[in-house]
Amino acid sequence: MKPAPFNYIAASSLAHALSLKAEHGDEARFLAGGQSLIPAMNFRLARPAVLIDINGVGHLAGVDRSNRAEIRIGALTRYRDLERDGDFLKACSLFADALPHIAHPQIRNRGTIGGNLSHADPASELPAIAVAMEATMRIKSATGERQMAASEFFVGVLSTDLQAHEMLVEIAFPTPKPRTGACFMEVARRRGDFALVGIAVVMTLDDARRCSTVRLALCGVGETAVDVSKVAFPLIGQSCTTETIEAVAAGVRDAIAPSGNVHASADYQRHIAGVLAVRAISAAHQRVRHAA
Amino acid sequence: MQPDHHDIELKVNGTTHRRGVESRMLLSDFLRHELLLAGTHVGCEHGVCGACTILVNGAPVRSCLMLAAQANGQQLSTVEGLANDTGELHPVQQAMHDHHGLQCGYCTPGILMTMTAFLKENPAPSEEEVREALSGNLCRCTGYQNIVDAMMAAAQAMRAAAS
């Protein structure tokens, strides 16, 4: 229950952190909030030779809304900072719904957005939110930078497209269009536990209050966040009614292939996904109507 | 691998300490073994139980999920700093005593640190908010009811003292 030995280096700048990562590659891990990495190290499931602490690196944390088209979140932004940012929560209501489900306040005081997304736990809320909101992941290395869609970033259980020399530095969420409603819901065994199933819904209505776009993503039911937006396409151009929403929920149940675990059988997960789909789509729809 | 050492300086309950620590030393172990502040308890060592909760710059965190090296330059508060110099208990400690909010006491330091920070931020919480704030600290003895009662009473006592 103690970490294996490693070298600890507190990076003094982003350039310093990236050059260390370029030098040590897969042997090194970035230490941000440490709320997933340090437990893994305490269990010796992770044994990095070098730990590059980025907590002292400036300009990696914070919410930037200066560009009206997107909301940019620095990778080192902590959950708790977002929880206390009323303007941000209003703009990204999925976060307002999801943040209280992420572990406990003590964990949210340390855990970071970039660390969570780079860790890519399939039961985590944020990858599903990033996929549902069609976020852009901005990635840097000592030699360059690139960006990619959240849907391509997550490649498997605890696995992303990040290369050994790269760091996720910023996540950009498109500013929600007018008449957009969103909702995140999950079921967990206990408050703060890993989600058995979670669902993120983003829906935009047109002038006639018909659905014009809809995005659906789930966590906890696959190797990564699962994008099931396609099953909601029949809603487009339609009004949301009990029947149309129930039809989408049936599609969600069929579209996923959860593996089941000690807390929930695959059938139970599939059932819950359908129940949450009905509730979350209805809630997102209600929220647009109230906002519009 | 050769263990690497780091010289750190930090403040705990207002007192400055300087030590050399190995990289892999957890902050919880540093407090207990190096500073001999054994009031911070170590339960699960992976962030679940909350027994090791301390305040770093005023915010409750798991000390088992931080490295001692990361506490360099930070201000820490532990359960040893709650009572005042004359031994008078903090209102939250007094309320736990009065309401029988502990049995074995293993979880108590973490609960005290979590809840003193919570009540500072939210001096007039509802019972539901107290339960939510307590959700990150496991207690296997009490069933929580007496802890909740203690926190409601502590909040009231602290409000009365402030007015």
CB A273 within 8 A of CB A252: yes
Q: Parse chain B into domains and list their residue ranges.
A: 5-81, 91-162
| Partner B contacted by A38 (CB < 8 A) | yes
pLDDT tens track for B100-120: 999 999 999 999 999 999 999
Long-range contacts of residues A144-149, Cβ cutoff 8 Å, at least 24 apart? A145/A169, A147/A172
Instruction: Specify the DSSP class assigned to residue A154.
Output: E
C-beta atoms of A2 and B23 within 8 A: no
Closest approach of chain A CAs to the CA of B162, in angstroms? Answer: 25
C-beta atoms of B47 and A39 within 8 A: yes
The predicted pLDDT at position A151 comes to 97
Of B23, B53, B66, the CB nearest to A34: B66
What is the mean pLDDT of the segment spanning A202-224? 96
The predicted pLDDT at position A73 comes to 98
pLDDT averaged per 10 residues in sequence order, chain B, 163 residues: 87 98 97 98 96 98 98 98 95 98 98 98 97 96 97 97 91
The token pair at B50 is 């909350």
C-beta atoms of B60 and A51 within 8 A: no
What is the mean pLDDT of the segment spanning A201-228? 96
Nearest CA in chain B to A103: B136
What is the mean pLDDT of the segment spanning A92-115? 97
Please state the pTM of the whole predicted model. 0.95
Q: Which of B67, B72, B112, B128 to mutate to test the interface with A (most CBs of A within 10 A)?
A: B67
- With respect to CATH, is domain A7-53 assigned 3.30.565.10? no
Q: Parse chain A into domains and list their residue ranges.
A: 7-53, 59-174, 180-291
C-beta atoms of A42 and B114 within 8 A: no
| Class of B91-162 in CATH | mainly alpha
Closest approach of chain B CAs to the CA of A185, in angstroms? Answer: 17
What does each C-alpha distance from B154 to B77, B87, B98, B115, B146 come to in angstroms?
A: 19, 18, 10, 10, 12
A290 pLDDT higher than 80: no
Burial (0-12, 13-18, 19+ Cβ within 10 Å), A234: middle
**CATH of region A59-174, choose from 3.40.190.10, 3.30.465.10, 2.40.160.20, 1.10.3720.10:** 3.30.465.10
The predicted pLDDT at position B163 comes to 86
Instruction: Specify the DSSP class assigned to residue B39.
Output: T
What is the mean pLDDT of the segment spanning A184-198? 94
pLDDT tens track for A12-70: 999 999 999 999 999 999 999 999 999 999 999 999 999 999 999 989 999 999 999 99
Nearest C-alpha neighbor of A259 from the set A125, A123, A142: A123
Tell me how long chain A is: 292
- With respect to CATH, is domain B5-81 assigned 3.10.20.30? yes
Ramachandran area for residue A164 (φ above 0: left; ψ -120 to 50: alpha; else beta): alpha
Query: Quick one: which H or E segment has residue B140?
Result: none
| Class of A180-291 in CATH | alpha beta
A114-123, A189-198, B54-63, B74-83: least confidently modelled range:
A189-198
Q: Give the span between the Cα atoms of B155 and A86, in whole angstroms.
A: 25
What does each C-alpha distance from A22 to A19, A155, A273, B108, B115 come to in angstroms?
A: 5, 22, 41, 45, 43
CB A61 within 8 A of CB A74: yes
Closest approach of chain B CAs to the CA of A230, in angstroms? Answer: 36
| Partner B contacted by A1 (CB < 8 A) | yes
Q: How many CB atoms lie within 10 A of CB B15?
A: 12
Instruction: Specify the DSSP class assigned to residue A5.
Output: P
